[in-house]
Each structure stands twice: as C-alpha cells, then as structure tokens.
Amino acid sequence: MRDSLGVYLSVPFCKAKCSFCNFASDAFAPERMDGYVARLCAEIRSARQIAAERGVVVPQTVDSVYFGGGTPSLLGVDKFEEIFAALRGEFDVVTNAEITMECAPGQIAETSLQAAMRLGVSRVSLGVQSFVDRESAAVGRLHTGIQCENEIARLRSLGLDVGFDLICGLPHQTCESWRESLRRAVATGAHHVSVYMLEVDEDSRLGRELIGPGVRYGAGMVPDDGAVAEMYLEACDVLAEGGLAQYEISNFAREDHQSRHNRKYWERAPYLGFGLDAHSMLPDEQGRAARFSNGDELDAYLSEADPVSVERVEDAEAFEEKVFLGLRLNEGVEAALLADVHGAVDEMVQGGLMWSANGRFGLTARGRVVSSSVFGELLAVPA
C-alpha cells in the first residue's frame, strides 16, 4: 500500500549496552521512562503540525507499526496503552496492520506481553545474535541459547509471528560455532531470521577497540573478513534448506512472513519515525521525497532543544537510493533504471556479481557479500 504509512517508534531503553551497538539506545535510568513516553506521545499528537511546518505530506492510514530499540518490551502496561492511544488518536491504523515489537530474550514480562498483544502487537523480533553462550556473553548479551529457544517457543505458542537477529563475525565465533547457531535457529521454527555481518563502527565500544586496538571487548577474537563472508554464504544455504527463503540481503522468511514494515524502507514508501534518533521519509507537497530525523541525545530530545532540518531528496540522490535500496531486494531493479550505467552493470554480470533476467538486474550471492563495493562502482559512474 504505497499510500499508507509505516510508523517507527523508538524506545531507546536497555538493561545493558551491547559492545557492538552504535545506536542511540543505552541503559538509561528506568525513572526517565515516564518523561520519555510523555514526550513521544506529544510528538505523535503534533505530527500534523510538524508536517505542515516541514512542507511534507503525512498519509492518514497506517498499515505497519514498529517498536524499535533499545528494548521496547521493557515498557509497562500503562506505557503501551498511552502510546497506542496517542497513535490511534492521530492515525487510522488498519485492522490487519503489522505491529512489531523488538524484545530481548528473557526480558518480556508476561503482563507487558499480554497488554501489547491486546493492543495489536502481532509480531516479535528478538535480539538473539548468537545461540552460543560464549559469543553472547562476549558482546554483553544477558541471555543464554537455551533461554532464547525457550522464549521463541513461548512466543510461538501464543500465536505470534516470531523472528530474530543473528550476527556473523562476533568475538570467539568460529565456523563450527556459527553452524551451531544456524542449526538451532532453523530448529526453533521461527518465521523470520535476519543475518548481519558484524560492522566495525567507531561509535561502538567493540568498533573503537578494533580500530584502536584493545583487548577489553574481544576485538582480537573477531573472525577475519574472509571467514565472515563464508559464514554469511553458509547462512544463505542453511536457512534456505530450512524453509527460510532470502528476500533481502540480510533477511530470510518463511512464506507470507516477510517484514512488511522493513520493505517500506527498501521500496522508498512513506514512513514516519517518532522518538530518539528516529528517521522519516515522506513526500513533500511537490511529490518529491523528503527525509528528516530526530537527534540522538536523550536530554536534548526530552527538552525539545534539538532542531530538525528537512533534506529534500533531489533527482540524483533519488536515483542512488533506488539503486542501492532496490538491489538489496532479491527481485532487484528494472533494467531501465540502470540504463545509463549499463557498461558497469555488464562488467558486474560478467564477473558474477549481478544477474540479468526478465528485464531486471539483481545481486548474486557473491554480489551480496560485497554489496557496498558493487553499489560504489555503479554509483561512481556518471549517469
């Protein structure tokens, strides 16, 4: 539904900060939750005014809602009710809306879960990262593999769509331990799995240590790039054999269980973010795309001291977005989109990094591993 809106709600509170995390989430004091939710709801209620001030158009109908974090499952019953009241007071949330909540295994209170489900949450995304305890502990996760398996079984028994994240490239990870995580992942019967290759980011503790170097967060035990690439390719094979078909570079799902909300990002459909470090993309009054985001400092967000600037997406940037976002998806992009860079595309096809079929171009398995380089090559060619 291109005319419908996806809503992202940022809940940046965690019990512990993972060493690889570069998001604005943190182990903020729990007592700050009340003020945060009040500010979040006020932002939702002022959405139309904000849109008018920024010259952007906000669709009235919402067909996907995503509670991201942080750990949104830490919200209490009253906080869920407050947020949903604000959301449904401003937007028409369709009956079959996909409503997703990110959770940490072992940190989902039964009362909060039941309240979330009563209010419409139908999908849960768990931050598993690894089913191997040594690897989880090394990056600051507070759960065990057994707890993850039990949590997934519990959530599935309640009729929820259940997915989780895995990361290849964690400290202490080996090809053998990665296979164990993949085997256990398939055995859970989960509906959706996201697989990410560890990214070195200077804004995370592990990233700073890898650049540093240092020893506190296990940087010396991180697999090399070649091993991580092999792990990713193995995940593609194992998950496919287990009934989880790849539909995007990092995402695998059983039939009819793809993330409708996340597809909005890749298809450049309208989405509106509320909360700390939340991002939005909406059409402006001329029909072009406009992007904007909230700041990533909690105090500034709570005091409304962080000004938000709107970035109009010009034609050249829109082309780039269509290329690198569209090529993330398994169906690729229409060949006409890449007509002006056909020489570079032909080289990629001949080199086995891209495929060509039925008037479309896409990335091969090898191309996905080096997707950043492929995008860079294509977008470096003057269109």
At 360 the pLDDT is 97
What is the number of domains present in the chain? 2
The two most distant CA atoms of the chain are separated, in Å, by 58
Same domain, 214 and 142: yes
The per-residue pLDDT string of the chain (383 residues; one tens digit each, 9 = 90 and over) reads 458 999 999 998 876 555 555 555 555 667 888 999 999 999 999 998 888 888 899 999 999 999 998 788 888 899 999 999 999 999 999 999 999 999 988 888 899 899 999 999 999 999 999 999 999 888 877 889 999 999 999 999 999 999 999 999 998 999 999 999 999 999 999 999 999 988 765 554 444 445 445 444 444 456 788 899 999 999 999 999 999 999 999 999 999 999 999 999 999 999 999 999 999 999 988 888 999 999 888 888 888 876 677 889 999 999 999 999 999 999 999 999 999 999 999 999 999 999 999 999 999 999 999 999 999 999 886 65
What would the two tokens of residue 315 be? 């034609």
Report the alpha-carbon distance of residue 354 to residue 129 in Å, rounded: 29
* Chain segment 78-101, per-residue pLDDT in tens: 999 999 999 999 999 999 999 999
Return the half-sphere exposure (C-beta side, CA atoms, 13 A cut-off) of residue 255: 1
Same domain, 12 and 160: yes
Kind and range of the H or E run holding 329: none
pTM of the model: 0.89
Angle among Cα 304, 311, 48 to the nearest 5 degrees reads: 55
Question: Which of 238, 258, 121, 237 is closest to 192 using CA atoms?
Answer: 258
What would the two tokens of residue 148 be? 């993850």
Q: Residue 34 falls within a domain, yes or no?
A: yes
Same domain, 257 and 323: no
The boundaries of the domain holding residue 230 are: 5-265
At 2 the pLDDT is 55
Same domain, 258 and 320: no
Q: Residue 310 falls within a domain, yes or no?
A: no
Tell me the chain's radius of gyration from C-alpha atoms.
Answer: 21
Domain end, chosen from 206, 240, 265, is at 265
At how many degrees (to 10) do helices 371-380 and 315-326 cross?
150
At 380 the pLDDT is 84
Q: Residue 307 falls within a domain, yes or no?
A: no
Q: Kindly report the backbone phi and psi dihedral angles of residue 20, in degrees, each rounded to the nearest multiple of 5, phi listed first.
A: -90, -5
Same domain, 100 and 223: yes
At 221 the pLDDT is 58
Domain end, chosen from 232, 248, 265, is at 265
Q: Residue 274 falls within a domain, yes or no?
A: no
What would the two tokens of residue 227 be? 């091993």
Same domain, 242 and 157: yes
At 219 the pLDDT is 46
CATH of residue 171: 3.20.20.70
* Chain segment 315-355, per-residue pLDDT in tens: 999 999 999 999 999 999 999 999 999 999 999 999 999 99
Q: Kindly report the backbone phi and psi dihedral angles of residue 332, in degrees, each rounded to the nearest multiple of 5, phi listed first.
A: 65, -150
Same domain, 198 and 331: no
CATH of residue 354: 1.10.10
